[in-house]
Amino acid sequence: MSFGKRLRERRRELGMSQGELALRLGVTAAAVSNYESGQNAVREEVLLKMFQVLDVDPNYLYQDAFTGGGF
């Protein structure tokens, strides 16, 4: 599952709309929609706030984002 799908899943688990999450993060609802669809990356300061607002460990949102592998 992608970062965006996990983000959407957790937001819904908390009963939060995109608009409510956006308000708590200090971004627009369109930005949250873009994060969930994978169209935009989340800025670091928003990402740190996101972990707090969603009450999740960073590994929860990113657990399937990295496949491993060498450099």
Query: Which among 1, 3, 7 is positioned nearest to 22, based on CA atoms?
Result: 7
CA 1, chain centre distance (Å): 12
pTM: 0.82
Q: What is the pLDDT of residue 25?
A: 97
pLDDT of residue 65: 60
Distance CA 62, CA 7 (A): 9
Say what the pLDDT of residue 63 is.
75
**What sign has the CA pseudo-torsion 24, 26, 28, 30?**
negative
Residue 64 has a pLDDT of 65
pLDDT by 10-residue block (mean), the chain, 71 residues = 90 97 97 95 93 89 62 48
Specify the pLDDT at position 66: 55
